[in-house]
Structure 1
Amino acid sequence: MKKDIEIPEVEGVYIAVVNEYNTIYKSQDWNAYIINDKDVDLEMVLIVTNGYNDTKITSTFRKKLETLPKKSYAKIELMQEDLFALNNQFKVTFFEGNKMFDKTYLFRKNTVNLKALQPIPLMDVRGILVK
C-alpha cells in the first residue's frame, strides 16, 4: 500500500533565514521565511519547525497558511540567535492542484551567520537559503 502513494519532488519552494532591521525595537533580527518561486499558488501550507542536537530539542512550532500566492513569500517566525547552535528543521507540506507535496528543509548547526549571507530570490535581501 505504501508503495502506491506518490509524493512528488518539491521544486521552487525554499526556506530562507534573513537578518533584518526591526524598526519597532531598533534591533537586528533573524526571521525565517517560506518562498514560493513557482508560477502557481500553493494551498494549505503547513510548516512544522524545531531545533535539535544530540542532547537538546526545542519545542515544536506550527504555522498554517491557507494560500501562498505564486512568486511570493511569507514570514514564518522570528528566530533567536541561540537556536543557530542547533540543527533547525522546517517540515513543509502543501497542495499544488490536487497533489500533496512534502519536504524537510534543514539548516545545520552554526550555518546561519552573517558571513554566510547570499542573495535571496524574490525578496531583494541577503540571507541563508535552503532549497
Structure 2
Amino acid sequence: MKKDIEIPKVKGVYIAVVNEYNDIYKTQDWNAYIINDKDVDLEMVLIVTSGYSKDKATSVFRKKLDKLPKKSYAKIELMQEELFAINNTFQVSFFEGNQMFDKTYLFRKNTINLKALQAVPLMEARGVLVK
C-alpha cells in the first residue's frame, strides 16, 4: 500500500530571501518570498516557517494564500537578521489542479548574507534562493 503512494516532485516553485529597501522606514530589510515560476496557478498554498539550532527554536509562523497566479510571487514575511545564524525552514504545500504537492525548503545557518545574493526569477531583485 505505502509503495503505491506517488509523491510528485515540486518543480518551478522557489523560496527567496531578498534584501530590499523599505521606503517607509528608510531601511534595508530582508523579506522572504514564494515564487511560482510555473505556467499554472497554485491553489490553497500553505506555508509554515520556523527556525532552529541545537539550543534555540523560533515560534512557528503560518501563512495561507488562496491562489498564487502563474509566473508570480508573494511576500511571506519580514526576516530579522538574527535569524540567519540558525537554520530556517519553509514547508510549502499547495494544489496544482487536483493534485497536492509538498516540499520543505531549508536555508542553512549563515547562508543568507549579502555575499550570497543572486538574481531571483520573476523579480527585479537579488536574493538568496532555494529551489
TM-score (norm. length: structure 2)? 0.98
Unaligned runs of 5+ in 1: none
Deviations 1:91-130 (A, max 9, x none): 0000000000000000000000001100000001100000
- Shift in Å, 1:4: 3.0
> Separation in 1 of the partners of 2:23 and 2:89?
28
Give 3-state SS (helix, strand or coil) of 1:84's partner.
helix
User: 1:17-36 counterparts in 2 under 5 A?
Assistant: 17-36=17-36
- Shift in Å, 1:2: 3.1
Unaligned runs of 5+ in 2: none
> Separation in 1 of the partners of 2:104 and 2:40?
20
> Separation in 1 of the partners of 2:60 and 2:77?
12
User: 1:1-131 counterparts in 2 under 5 A?
Assistant: 1-131=1-131
Indicate the percent of aligned positions where both proteins have the same amino acid.
Answer: 82
> Separation in 2 of the partners of 1:53 and 1:30?
20
- Shift in Å, 1:6: 1.9
Query: Cα RMSD between the aligned structures?
Result: 0.7
> Separation in 1 of the partners of 2:46 and 2:78?
17
Aligned residues: 131
> Separation in 2 of the partners of 1:92 and 1:86?
19
> Separation in 2 of the partners of 1:102 and 1:87?
19
